[in-house]
Amino acid sequence: MTTALEATEKDFEQMMQMLTGSWVTQIAGAVATYSIADHLAKGPASAEQISTIEGIDPIAAFRLLRACAALGLVSFEGQTFSTTPLLCTLRSKVPGSLHSLAIAWSSPGHWLSWSRFLDAVRTGESQTVPALGSKIWDYYAQNPEEGAAFTQATHGYTSGIAQEVARVVDTSTAKLAVDVGGASGTLVHSLLMANSQLHGIVLDLPDVVPSATASASALGLAERSKALGGDFFTYVPEADIYLLKHVLHDWDDGEAVQILKRCRDAMRPGGRVIVIEMLLGEIGEPELVPLMDLNMMVMLTGRERTLAEYRALLEDAGLRFSKSTPIRSPMSVIEAVAAAR
């Protein structure tokens, strides 16, 4: 016979924090949109000073900053607010920046789709078409400002791990690497910076190409890196290395295998596929990945996976798993080569 557990006051407080999580997302989005982290990085400022710079209501700015102080994003002394290390994650130009991610996740593309979460659970299907009228990539093409925020969010997150990936992945025998679905090309550009003999291609949707081209030029890599607009389900160029960071988790198993097969078929002799993804751990571990898995369910056809599940996808695509290297938790670099036919 079991005895029902009773919630404590601490449990009620924790649940209230969870229930207000959607509010916190919007607060973080506003902080990023109005560049508050960047302003306070220059020194303490009052709400009125920030409101003047950003053209927002001064009373609303104060109320926003007061809430930020309660969340540990800022500190308050006298009449001015100061930055904290937590707020620094929302600066626009720091490695691993979450600035654009805060904007993307608090914008209509994600926000409206997540408002249909009950329908996602009931049907197991993505909710972007019912919420937005189109799949998310088409929506971003139709809403370029929001799409640019998502592309920049990808760059920000990737910049936090790119150097570590460049350290882990051996490119000494490779001549050409393709960043499949590489957005602005942050990952392949890091490999090019580490190996002056390597050339790179960023393969992504046509509306993303200008961002990748501009990024390569800004890094002085224009002669060794090019951007190619296309559909990786139908074509990937010949190369020695294929980089797929946060690509396979966007798609269901059949679609993921199709992408991997394209890479396998185009791969030069001795080539490799490099998959960079979050890995699901044991059930009950307090981590981000199961939550991200639900985001994939709402937004796309994909899912987060265990290492065993990724190994199965690789095998189905005619690839042979060679190794997995943990980098910044919960990310891992999974390497595979062509299996014998």
Point out the residues that are catalytic.
Answer: 249
What is the CA angle 269-270-272, rounded to 5?
A: 115
What three-state secondary structure class fits 35? coil
**Closest among 108, 117, 96, 106 to 296, alpha carbons compared:** 117
Is 326 in contact with 278 (CB distance < 8 Å)? no
Is 332 in contact with 307 (CB distance < 8 Å)? yes
Q: What residue spans of the chain are helical by DSSP H? A: 9-19, 21-33, 36-41, 47-54, 58-70, 85-88, 99-105, 108-114, 117-123, 128-132, 136-142, 144-159, 162-168, 186-194, 209-218, 253-266, 289-299, 307-316
**In Å, how far from its chain's centre is CA 286?**
20
Residue with tokens 């809403």: 143
What is the CA angle 328-256-178, rounded to 5?
A: 65
**Closest among 235, 289, 298 to 263, alpha carbons compared:** 235
* Helix and strand element counts for the chain (H, E): 18, 9
Is 206 in contact with 141 (CB distance < 8 Å)? no
Pairing of strands 225-229, 199-204: parallel
Round to whole Å and give the CA distance between 186 and 156.
9
